[in-house]
Structure 1
Amino acid sequence: MASSNWISGIVVCTLIASCLFVVAGIIGIVLGPHILQSQVEKQLPLTADSDQLDSWSTPPVPIYLQFWLWECVNVGEVLRGAKPYVVQRGPFTYLEHRTKTGVYFNDNYTVTYRQPISYTFVPEKSALPETTRITMVNTPIVTIVALLRNQSAKTQEIFNIVKNFFNETLFIDHTAREWIWGYEDPLLKAAKSLPIIKDLVPDDHFGYFYGSNATDDGLYTVFTGEDHINQLNNINKWNGISSLPYWRTPWGNQINGTDGSWFPPLIGKDLQSIRLYLYSTDICRSLYAKFEKHSSVLDIPTELFSIPAEIFLNSTLNPDNIAFGTTDSGVLDVSVCRQGAPIYISLPHLLYAADRYQSRLEGIEPDAPIHRTIFEVEPHTGLVLSAQKRLQINVFLQPEHFIDDFKYISEVVLPAIWINESTTIDQKSADDLNNQVLRFFTIVRWVSIVLIPIGIVIFIVTIVLFKKHRSREESTPLLFAEANNTIASDHDH
């Protein structure tokens, strides 16, 4: 009897344990990720002693900036009104060095900093040397002509005389390094000495990224995420302002989102409906990326977001874009934030641009997979593990009666230079992310998955064994009884 009670006790304990395994597995599957995610989100906010402060201040993975310069190969025909035929030269590749400086944590859950960036040429990742000479549109002249458009005919004629004295033409030849980082322009220098137009000329140097090497693009104040994780790294102010002065509507002037290097976690969000906002000083506005598909970077699951074509539609097709002027789809007139220079921003090769822009050029080949902007984001942390940020700088040309070289040209948005700022996490950083964060999600998921069938198997085996044991117990007295009856019968005979 005691033995039977002991076995029954073991069976009850085993059944309870098997049920606990199943329950633990279900809880692990349902609640485990949420519990772990809450722990991760407690570690993400930026503080003076947070673990990720160093990697936030100085990114541990390499960032490259590549330039393709558009050379015009039919200058003579263009000056007579023909379509420009352009050929891209490059890439010219530079390694970015960036470190946040002056980091100061404020009382309102924000942190303020500057981020100087310097560049080092990388020959092995470049198609041509920096000294390669390229014939491109003379943007300083185009800028001055645009600034003089509302001046008197006499002023324009004086400038034309000065331009011809310096033998300046609409297309000129410089090295790739000069086009990118700047050169002293004799015409700009002379223009600054003329009382009539000196105030219109901001500098006597020109380069598409002149002044961008070893400097920063402004003073940033971003949210630390301490009070609300969904605000992590979102920009609070840029250069002390929270709204831009450039565009036509309050919505267009808003500074939204992050700088594109780190977003709030994506877990628990409807990927199909959310927008990842970012602010770009290159285009003087905020824009957003939308979810495209699931992806992976070095075997780490990620979510791929891209800047959608709707961002570049004209205001008829996308009423939100009424804030950004009256250009047609695909280009953004940023002269309002470029000292009046007739600079238009687009995607490389005028991707998504209206036919009126593409059809006036020869040589461009827009291709979405290689010319759009994408981000691959790790959803638990919001870290960008891979990014390709692409844009193109164009110069708006139109005929001018009083200026030689401009008299017969056709109106065109002429590509000048396009860039790709790219980064991909390295293997060491990927391993660190896995070991410090992601592997715990994997462990909990698989342990939970394994616990359920183990619990079920133990439950079934226990029931089967217990039933067999009970069957043997019930049959044993019957056997003894039959044996006793047989002995009695033999004795009687």
Structure 2
Amino acid sequence: MIVFNLTQENVSQDFTACPRSEVVLEEGTIAFKNWVETGTEVYRQFWIFDVQNPEEVAVNSSKIKVKQRGPYTYRVRYLAKKNIVQDPKTHTVSFLQPKGAIFEPSLSVGTENDTFTVLNLAVAAAPHLYPSAFIQLILNVFIKRSKSSMFQKRTLKELLWGYTDPFLNLIPYSTPTTVGMFYPHHNTSDGVYKVFSGKNDAISKANGASFPPFIEKTRVLRFFASEICRSFYAVFGAEVNLKGIPVYRFILPSMTFASPLQNPENRCFCTEKIISKNCTLYGVLDISKCKEGKPVYISLPHFLHASPEIAKTIEGLNPNQEEHSTYLDVEPITGFTLRFAQRLQINLLVKPARIIEALKNLKQNYIVPVLWLNETGTISDEKAEMFRKQVTEKINLLGLVEMILLSVGVVMFIAFMISYCTCRSKKVN
């Protein structure tokens, strides 16, 4: 449903010394082979917010007490790109990125059948999708008949990948009945994307896998997140040593989720007066227009860097900069992203609805956290060794040669000046 389209396509790049023609995205080149199907394992971890007091909230409009459970880990980004079309006139390549997820039990705290008490996605979205009092009256009949409430129990597999909702299943006219945070996902594709091939330009990817070479600390790195319909940017945070490779760590700044008054780029996400308070609150972005009107809000995990008012209705959150921030480790010479961690939280807005019985006792609005995710990828030990030999060590050797030549030049200059002064002194005498 919502996740950065940031993959490690270039982590698996063949770093052996090769002519420029081999790094162009054209069929038959080394770059193209590694670009079509990445060999690096990328994982997506999920932490689910298990609601501890559903009845208290639904009846008394109490604070929602949540308990984080996870991680539950899936391997993703393992399918080769498809529908690849090269345009020799514009030197671009378009493609689709197939989606898939394989559960990894050894990296998870439980199974896909673990059960959680979470927000009822269909019931919570109903007042937003159908504001008409008459339609809500009809929907309330089906909600009561299906015995649906504000909260529900769902397995991990159902919550993530989809389930048949009992309330929607009763509606007689044609409507989608399957609901899930990431439904549909399997057997679908992300795209169409179009990138420069690198024949006449530096290879440019909008998804953050690599950037133009010779990255400077002052540079702002931008990448696009297709599933939330917006671009993000990262700024330099620190120098890091990654498996013997010096990299620049670029971080997602707090201004990314700032209020539109602080960051004008977020003006288009200030669409709901109920939560925005004239666009003064910060820490969450309304992406409902990107999600067919569903009241979806994104934030950093545990509402990191958010206004205190955002989390005032939730208990059990512990924001932490180290665990909940997003970063990219970029090798500055090549521009390759060698490690990344993308952290994002998915929330739904729930507001009182007098006509819908399951929501009529609410006395306040809730930004309910459903889950947060961490998608990670790191260059393998084998590829890191290859990178060190073919890139890092050669750069260090070049630097050493440069220092030696500079030192020799300085010594020769000093010797010349001494000789010159000595000759001048003899002539004067």
Superposed, which structure 2 residues align to 1:26-105 within 5 Å?
A: 44-79=23-58, 80-96=60-76, 97-105=78-86
Whole-Å separation in 2 of the counterparts to 1:458 and 1:157: 92
Q: CA deviation at 1:159?
A: 1.2
Superposition map of 1:141-160 within 5 A: 141-149=123-131, 151=132, 153-160=133-140
| Partner Cα separation in structure 2 for residue 128 and residue 169 of structure 1 | 26
Is 2:115 aligned against 1:133?
yes
The question of whether the paired residues in 2 share the 8 Å contact of 1:314 and 1:321 is answered with: yes
Q: Quick one: distance in 2 between partners of 1:347 and 1:220?
A: 26
Instruction: Report the identity percentage.
Output: 32
Corresponding residue of 2:95: 113
| Alignment match, 1:480 | none
Pick the aligned partner of 2:242 from 297, 302, 312: 297
- Give the CA deviation at 1:391: 0.7
Change (3 A) 1:160 1:401: same
Q: Does 1:430 align with 2:375?
A: no
* Offset of residue 435 of structure 1: 2.7
Choose from 206, 211, 218 the match for 2:179.
Answer: 206
Q: Which amino acid aligns with 1:343?
A: V
Displacement after TM superposition at 1:415 (Å): 0.1
In 2, are the aligned partners of 1:180 and 1:207 still within 8 Å (CA)? yes
Please give the alpha-carbon distance, in whole angstroms, between the structure 1 residues aligned to 2:135 and 2:268: 33
Report the secondary structure of 1:352's partner residue.
coil
Q: Which structure 2 residues correspond to residues 155-304 of structure 1 after superposition, within 5 A?
A: 155-191=135-171, 193-194=172-173, 198=174, 201=175, 203-229=176-202, 232-234=203-205, 258-267=206-215, 269=216, 271-272=217-218, 274-304=219-249
| Structure 1 segment 334-373 matched on structure 2, within 5 A | 334-373=287-326
- The match for 2:106 among 124, 128, 147 is 124
2:138 & 2:324 partners in 1: Cα distance? 42
Report deviation, 1:40. 8.0
Task: Report the Cα distance in structure 2 between the residues aligned to 1:334 and 1:457, rounded to whole angstroms.
Answer: 64
Cα distance in 1 for residues equivalent to 2:319 and 2:201: 41
Partner of 1:377: 330
Kindly report the root-mean-square deviation, in angstroms, between the aligned alpha carbons of the 2 structures: 2.3
- What is the correspondence of 1:312-327 to structure 2 with a 5 Å cutoff? 312-326=257-271, 327=276
Max Rg structure: 1
Q: Identify the residue that residue 371 of structure 2 maps to in structure 1.
A: 417
Question: 5+ unaligned residues in a row in structure 1: which ranges?
Answer: 1-38, 235-257, 465-493
Shift of 1:140: 1.2
Matched residue count: 389
Residue identity in the other structure for 2:114: T
**Cα drift, residue 43 of structure 1:** 5.4
Q: Is the 8 A contact 1:59 1:99 kept in 2?
A: yes
Residues 444-481 of structure 1: CA distance to partner in whole angstroms, max 9, x if unpaired? 2223323455677799999x9xxxxxxxxxxxxxxxxx
Q: Distance in 2 between matches of 1:371 and 1:289?
A: 15
Secondary structure of the equivalent of 1:323? helix
Distance 2:254 2:180 in 1: 29
SS of the residue 1:46 aligns to? coil
Question: In the TM superposition, what whole-angstrom CA distance separates every residue of 1:239-271 from its partner, at most 9, and x where no partner exists?
Answer: xxxxxxxxxxxxxxxxxxx1122222134x4x2
Give me the whole-angstrom Cα distance separating, in 2, the residues matched to 1:343 and 1:442.
Answer: 48
Structure 2 portions without partners, runs of 5+: 1-17, 419-429
| More helix, by proportion | 1
